[in-house]
Structure 1
Amino acid sequence: MVRKAKVEFDEQAPDGFDPANPYGDPVAMLEMREHLVREKWIQIETAKILRDRLRWCYRIEGVNHIQKCRHLARQYLDATRGVGWGKDSRPPELHGPKKDLDD
């Protein structure tokens, strides 16, 4: 039995998925959903790692943390933009029609 030296992951979106007709191929639709969930979890875990590094930097640097940890704070803020499972983290075209409050 031969083991692979490196584990390889398929990091690309499924080939048969058509965004114009997402329900045309149910298998591709489920694969696309799994792909989006996997990418979202990667973003969340990356933000957690950066948060831990920033917390460590704040503790080590003490009163100089504003200058010394600025690069980590910027990375953390960039990593947390658009991350989450709520409706607001999706692109605007996927939000659906807006409902008027006057109706």
Structure 2
Amino acid sequence: MGRKKTVEFDENPPDDFDPNNPYADPVAMLEFREYLVREKWIKIETAKIIRERLKWCYRIEGVNHLQKCRHLVEQYLDATRGIGWGKDHRPPELHGPKKVENQAE
């Protein structure tokens, strides 16, 4: 008996929620809000788990952590990009690091 590779939830957003008129059905609006909060917490906790694995990898690999833990760094950066409170309405390209353009050519 082994661990599952992914966690699956059967929770879906409410079917009767209308984003064009959110106040038409207050119960569906609250269910949709709970769904969004639940999904955000799942993303935050996933990032925490990856961070713990990354700490462990850094400790174990020592000076070779740049090569051996690169995949975890990429997973952690992908997991943390766009999550957090207050970033809901910004486009995803604004969540990552700023791009520097080459001035001197």
Same fold (TM over 0.5): yes
Please say which structure displays the higher CA radius of gyration.
1
Gaps of 5+ in 1: 1-7, 94-103
Q: Kindly indicate whether residue 66 of structure 2 is the aligned counterpart of residue 48 of structure 1.
A: no
Q: How many residues of Structure 1 are paired with residues of Structure 2 in the alignment?
A: 84
Q: Match of 2:89? A: 91
Gaps of 5+ in 2: 1-7, 92-105
Q: Kindly indicate whether residue 74 of structure 2 is the aligned counterpart of residue 74 of structure 1.
A: yes
1: CA distance, partners of 2:42 / 2:59:
26
2: CA distance, partners of 1:69 / 1:84:
24
The sequence identity of aligned pairs, in percent, is 76
2: CA distance, partners of 1:92 / 1:56:
33
SS in structure 1 of the partner of residue 50 of structure 2: helix
1: CA distance, partners of 2:37 / 2:10:
14
Quote the RMSD (CA, aligned, Å).
1.6
TM-score (normalised: structure 2) = 0.75
